[in-house]
Amino acid sequence: MQYTNAIPEKKPHILVCNDDGIDAEGLHVLAASMKKIGTVTVVAPSEPRSGMGHALTLGVPLRVKEYARNNRFFGYTVSGTPVDCIKVALSHILTEPPDILVSGINYGSNTATNTLYSGTIGAALEGGIQHLPAIAFSLTTYENADFTYAGKFARKLVRKVLREGLPSDTILSVNIPNIPESDIRGVAVTSQGKSRWAENTIERDDMYGNPYYWLSGKLELLDNEMLYDEYAIRQNYIAVTPVSIDMTNHDALNNIRQWKLKR
Amino acid sequence: MQYTNAIPEKKPHILVCNDDGIDAEGLHVLAASMKKIGTVTVVAPSEPRSGMGHALTLGVPLRVKEYARNNRFFGYTVSGTPVDCIKVALSHILTEPPDILVSGINYGSNTATNTLYSGTIGAALEGGIQHLPAIAFSLTTYENADFTYAGKFARKLVRKVLREGLPSDTILSVNIPNIPESDIRGVAVTSQGKSRWAENTIERDDMYGNPYYWLSGKLELLDNEMLYDEYAIRQNYIAVTPVSIDMTNHDALNNIRQWKLKR
């Protein structure tokens, strides 16, 4: 198995991004946690950009701004998607590649098919494409979020990844239950679950009587063993899923070759 | 191997989408080609939405409009991403699921890591998530595009997929060289290539002297065998890649389990 990174001898340089935007609490907790072990650069969307997946911005110029918090420089905003943030950070903001990229901590779990929709994971995958070890962190709640333990676990896992490296073309997606540390039962290394959104797109009429639609739905649980991320988090485990940049279904190649397709 | 669809006895109902928007020639060629073998519903973005990957629209209402072409009803536009189109089509426009989803024909190849960025593939993957057989078609050029043969091959492949089915949780991404039919050397069943964009983000100053950035770059060829989509198309083969909804790197699971992570 190949590895993407060497163990840095020096204090690591850690690039921090997210998809909830520069103001999100999860980003601040993650940045603060990373500052305890390395030099941190924050580059995050200027606005919340959830559900952006691996989207990038084409045909629209991007703006980069310095962002202060409590009158102190905190990081940079990019007027685009999480993937845009990584592209601009690596090409224009940083003078050399960071040792590792961390993304999050996201409000809400990124398990199962959310792996495809998630901008938090999108940012990490873009890091992977650009040969960085990268980890996406998500807290499994939208409400009453307490990022304290998630920030602590993130630091522990970053240290581990800096030591061990990651398989090439692979990032980690980490989902952390929003429960007290003492209630967490352990860490499960999982696959992307089979659970899907049961669509429930809402139709309403505007002031002119014309309909509009809101995407909505509910995650339908289709996972019933610890192999899967969505099941593991519901059992109060942290779920660590290795996510590949290569989306090929390799098992299907021979099957489709037997079709003997001709031009 | 499991299959996602049964062979329809009746004339198939084919949902057609793209990411270049309702006005794109590749969409019209694909729809016209599909009309020769089935009943067609077109649902496409109202504007070009390239590079949107698997992005969906959250927190902004979506509008659906009927769209006429040459004074005849042609299809529906959705004011969102390709994934939004599929979600709205399946939840509100269609009364029952189609037999198959086709997306494209995209201007420009969707090989290698473009698999993650592509809205054309994003739409097809959303079909796969929703248990439809789905195929994304791309023509390997941005200029002097001639979609004629691509439309013909699309029809042939749709017929094949309706007969054979697809492995579960898997869609096909098809890249067709923009050359005369007689010059196409055959059909290769390929993996997502290793080629990547060499970033070349452009920095310019606006009228106030403030910088802005355009994402740009060049695909750096890292594939040198017929196993890979980007190499195959450069050898004048059609490349057919089975793309999985499951992004897990299954080979990495045991490796990371050996880290014995604790909470």
DSSP string, A111-131: -TTHHHH-HHHHHHHHHHHTT
Q: What are phi and psi of B92, to 5 degrees?
A: -135, -30
A100-107 vs A13-17, strand pairing mode? parallel
The CA distance from A130 to the nearest CA of chain B, in Å, is 8
Q: Do A189 and B257 touch (CB under 8 A)?
A: yes
With beta carbons under 8 A apart, name residues in chain B contacting A205: none
Q: How much is the pTM?
A: 0.94
Distance CA B77, CA B242 (A): 28
Q: How far from A179 is each of A33, A102, A128, A143, B33, CA to CA, in Å?
A: 18, 22, 30, 12, 54
Q: What is the mean pLDDT of residues A140-162?
A: 96
B14, B127 Cβ separation under 8 angstroms: no
Out of B242, B249, B255, name the one closest to residue A253 (CB): B242
Out of B92, B243, B248, name the one closest to residue A243 (CB): B248
Q: Do B253 and A189 touch (CB under 8 A)?
A: yes
The whole-number pLDDT of residue A200 equals 77
B256, A160 Cβ separation under 8 angstroms: no
Place of tokens 């050359």: B179
Q: Do B243 and A249 touch (CB under 8 A)?
A: yes
The whole-number pLDDT of residue A199 equals 78
Distance CA B239, CA B64 (A): 34
A217, A198 Cβ separation under 8 angstroms: yes
Residues B106-135 have pLDDT tens digits of 999 999 999 999 999 999 999 999 999 999
Using alpha carbons, select from B32, B61, B65, B72 the residue that is nearest to residue B47: B65
What residue in A sits closest to B181 (Cα-Cα)? A263
With beta carbons under 8 A apart, name residues in chain B contacting A186: 262-263
Enter the DSSP assignment of A23: T
A196-199 vs A13-17, strand pairing mode? unpaired
Using alpha carbons, select from A176, A55, A177, A56 the residue that is nearest to residue A117: A55
With beta carbons under 8 A apart, name residues in chain A contacting B61: 204, 212-214
The whole-number pLDDT of residue A167 equals 96
What residue in B sits closest to A199 (Cα-Cα)? B91
Q: What are phi and psi of B152, to 5 degrees?
A: -65, -45
Q: Do A212 and B61 touch (CB under 8 A)?
A: yes
Q: Do B238 and A64 touch (CB under 8 A)?
A: no
C-alpha B223: how far from its chain's center?
21
Q: What is the mean pLDDT of residues A30-36?
A: 98
Q: Do A125 and B115 touch (CB under 8 A)?
A: no
Burial of A207 (0-12, 13-18, 19+ CB in 10 A): exposed
Q: In order of start, what are the domains of chain A with their CATH numbers?
A: 13-193+222-257 (3.40.1210.10)
Q: Cα–Cα–Cα angle for A92, A93, A94, nearest 5°?
A: 100
Q: Do A56 and B244 touch (CB under 8 A)?
A: no
Go through chain A and tell me how many residues it has.
263
With beta carbons under 8 A apart, name residues in chain A contacting B184: 263
Q: How far from A85 is each of A75, A123, A144, B19, B54, CA to CA, in Å?
A: 12, 8, 28, 22, 17
The whole-number pLDDT of residue B1 equals 45
Identity at B208, one-letter amino acid code: Y
With beta carbons under 8 A apart, name residues in chain A contacting B119: 55
Distance CA B147, CA A252 (A): 28
ipTM score of complex = 0.93
Q: Do B263 and A54 touch (CB under 8 A)?
A: no
A237-244 vs A170-176, strand pairing mode? antiparallel
Q: Do B58 and A81 touch (CB under 8 A)?
A: no
Q: Do B215 and A87 touch (CB under 8 A)?
A: yes
The whole-number pLDDT of residue B59 equals 84
Enter the DSSP assignment of B236: T
Q: Do B55 and A58 touch (CB under 8 A)?
A: no
Q: Do A199 and B87 touch (CB under 8 A)?
A: yes
What residue in A sits closest to B64 (Cα-Cα)? A212
Enter the DSSP assignment of A193: P
The whole-number pLDDT of residue A164 equals 96
Residues A167-212 have pLDDT tens digits of 999 999 999 999 999 999 999 999 999 999 987 788 999 989 888 9
With beta carbons under 8 A apart, name residues in chain B contacting A184: 263
B61, B98 Cβ separation under 8 angstroms: no
pLDDT at A245 over 80: yes
Residues B74-86 have pLDDT tens digits of 999 999 999 999 9
Low-confidence ranges of chain B (pLDDT < 50): 1-2
Distance CA A233, CA A222 (A): 13
Tokens of A175: 């989902």
Q: Do B54 and A50 touch (CB under 8 A)?
A: no
What residue in B sits closest to A60 (Cα-Cα)? B214
A230, A111 Cβ separation under 8 angstroms: yes
What residue in A sits closest to B160 (Cα-Cα)? A259
Work out the mean pLDDT of chain A and round it to a whole number: 94
B201, A91 Cβ separation under 8 angstroms: yes
Using alpha carbons, select from B242, B217, B14, B210 the residue that is nearest to residue B121: B242
With beta carbons under 8 A apart, name residues in chain A contacting B261: 157, 160, 187, 189, 238, 240
B110, B137 Cβ separation under 8 angstroms: no
- Picking from B170, B246, B251, B258 by the largest number of A CB atoms within 10 A of its own CB, the best residue to mutate is B246
The whole-number pLDDT of residue B217 equals 87
Out of A84, A115, A240, name the one closest to residue B247 (CB): A115
